[in-house]
Chains A and B, each alone.
Chain A
Amino acid sequence: MAKAKVTFSDVNVTVNVSVGTRIIEISEAVGSYIAYNCREGDCGVCLFEVIKGKENMSAISKEEKAVLLARYQEIMDGWRATTDIDALQAKMQRENFIGKNCRLACQTQVFGDVVVAPL
């Protein structure tokens, strides 16, 4: 079966995996700092940053996108003070957060070499 190299820059580990493997399965086995919780795309805890190789990952679903959006509101510093959710969402879209730099580890499969890190 075709192979891919997945590098976790936080723990300095590279793993050779079969293509189609989900990031969460690998990050759990090597003890990366990518946290996780429900493992089914619901809670958004396993958010991670794609440093290299976003084109080598499975496409982002509508559901994953919705969870990412909710998570950004928590993460972005302004979320606690903001009163304008539309503006915040527009800002996140503008800054190309969704589907570009960040993904959910439980939803993302790898199809080629990638470098990832916890957010």
Chain B
Amino acid sequence: MTKSPVWLSERVQWIGALDSTMRSFDIILKTPNGTTYNAYAVRGSEGVAVIDTVKAECAEQFFEHLEAIARYDEIKVIVLNHLEPDHTGALPELMRRAPQAKLYISQSAQIMIKALLNQQDVDYISVGTGDTISLGDRTLKFLHTPYLHWPDTQCTYLEEECILFSGDVFGCHFCDERLFNDRVGDFRFAFEYYYAHIMRPFREHVINALELIAPLPINIIAPTHGPILRDKPTSYIQRYRELSGQRLQSEVNADEKTLLIFYISAYGSTSQMAQMIRNGAEQVPGVRASLYDMEGGDSDLFVDLVEDADGILIGSPTINGDAVKPAWDLVSSFAKINVKGKLAGAFGSFGWSGEAVRMLEDRMRGLKMRLPLEGVRIKLIPSSDELDQCRRYGQEAGEHLMGVNAPRVLDMADLLASRKQLSN
């Protein structure tokens, strides 16, 4: 464990903390190597800026490093690129020790900072793209890069040295006291894994941020977790560009919308429904519908398709009062990507209770997908009338996708009551 600060340049030091024993981060991430909480200090001719802090449990390391390179009364500026507790744990104590330091946060962090510190009258300055702070002969410039991976996230750029303090962007959970990417062990898997689990759900925001970063000359990328990227830093930007782009060129035309119909069937009834729904959707000009039997694939494969799709329908029979596991596995995998605002629906045949459809609908509504239609539930074998109902459901879903659905007038009370009744 390093006990001294590490120099990035004559004026910039790493003052973070190493956490080599941590194996499970934020519940959802595994790490075989622990992680680091990277914080930095920048010394200008007119004062010192501290950029981010560390997790509360690691505060001792952070203050030890900070004290080795600056006095508290020299600290003029505290920049928070991201307010999550693993970077703000040492903040209250830092504010106590350096009360004169001004706090700089993004515009979108203003409500969060009050909740974080549990005080209403926090003294801070909110900044956005283009705002700068002068430290005399050193200048910090802010980039508004929201949703990477919280609403409040931003990057800070040290102009004179072309160092980008990127927050969690370009970070990874990998603890190696050698710190720099050209010195540490092979951490490539950790970089990719971190992108896939932390940044991927915010793909559009990643693309926006890369556009903002692209024009800047970059010598070093200094993220809040994992190795400091000083060797070929732009190759990591390039890798983000590839990861946030499409995997394979899509064969769908720009004026078409895609509807993916996933189903699984015990006796063929839900499968028959899926086929009819597809036929109905295909009647709507511009809809490109595809059918997938969940029995023949798994959610790791399907989630890539869902990421690029406009609409998703899931068909599941009801077994023991629930949708079946492959359907839930698929819906669980949606947490890895962004499904907000995609059209969604559910359907299925059942023997005697039939809860699966409403349960899937509620879950997808909970994931902020759009569910404009009530899904079709059919008892046992679909009759020809019921198959026609499936065809109409597919057609209406297609019309919603293309924005050509007929006007409707509904009553709020009915809307809520029908949902409640059917899920009971």
Interface positions of A (Cβ within 8 A of B): 10-18, 21, 26, 28-33, 35-38, 41-44, 63, 66-67, 69-70, 73-74, 79-80, 82-85
Cα distance, A11 to B107, chains bound together (Å): 32
The answer to whether B212 touches A80 (Cβ under 8 A) is: yes
Least CB distance, A73 to chain B, in whole angstroms: 5
B407 at the interface (CB under 8 A from A): yes
Check if A16 sits within 8 Å of B412, measured CB to CB. yes
What is the CB-to-nearest-CB distance from B237 to chain A, in angstroms, rounded to a whole number? 16
Q: Check B368–A13 contact: CB distance below 8 A.
A: no
- The answer, among B107, B131, B405, B410, for a CB contact under 8 Å with A14, is B410
B248 interface residue per 8 A CB criterion: no
Contact in complex: A21, B408 (CB < 8 Å) = no
Q: Is B297 an interface residue (CB 8 A)?
A: no
The answer on a CB contact under 8 Å between A29 and B416 is: yes
14 A-B residue pairs with Cβ-Cβ distance under 8 Å, sorted by A, are A13-B372, A15-B415, A28-B365, A32-B370, A35-B340, A43-B151, A66-B110, A66-B111, A73-B129, A73-B144, A79-B144, A80-B208, A80-B212, A85-B131
Binding site for A on B (CB under 8 A): 106-108, 110-112, 127-131, 144, 146, 151, 208, 211-212, 340-341, 343, 365, 368, 370-373, 400, 403, 405-412, 415-416, 419
The interface residues of chain B lying within 8 Å CB-to-CB of A36 are 368
B108 touches A31 (CB 8 A): no
CB distance from A94 to the nearest CB of B (A): 18
The answer, among A28, A29, A85, for a CB contact under 8 Å with B128, is A85
- In the assembled complex, the Cα of A20 lies from the Cα of B373 at a distance in Å of 25
Q: How many A-B residue pairs have CB under 8 A?
A: 99
CA of A41 to CA of B114, assembled, Å: 14
Contact A13 B410 (CB under 8 A): yes
Most buried by A among B129, B208, B365, B408: B129
Instruction: Name the distance in Å between A47's Cβ and chain B's nearest Cβ.
Output: 13
Provide the bound-state CA to CA distance between A29 and B411, in Å.
Answer: 11
Chain B residues closer than 8 Å to A37, beta-carbon distance: 151, 340, 368
In the bound complex, do residue A33 and residue B108 qualify as a contact, i.e. CB atoms below 8 Å apart? no
Q: Would you call A29 and B108 a contact (CB within 8 A)?
A: no
Output the least CB separation between B372 and chain A (Å).
Answer: 3
- Which B residues touch A38, using CB under 8 A? 151
**A6 closest partner in B (C-beta):** B412
Give the complex CA separation of A31 and B127 in angstroms: 35
Instruction: Tell me whether B400 and A31 are in contact (CB under 8 A).
Output: yes
Once A28-B365, A80-B208 are accepted as A-B contacts, the answer to whether A15 and B411 lie under 8 Å apart by CB is: yes
Q: Once bound together, how far apart are the Cα atoms of A47 and B166, in whole Å?
A: 27
A16 interface neighbour in B108, B373, B409, Cβ under 8 Å: B409
In whole Å, how far is A60's beta carbon from the nearest beta carbon of chain B? 15
Name the CB-closest residue of A to B211. A80
Partner of B407, one of A14, A17, A33: A14
Q: Is the CB of A13 within 8 A of B130?
A: no
**Distance to closest chain A CB from B107 (angstroms):** 4
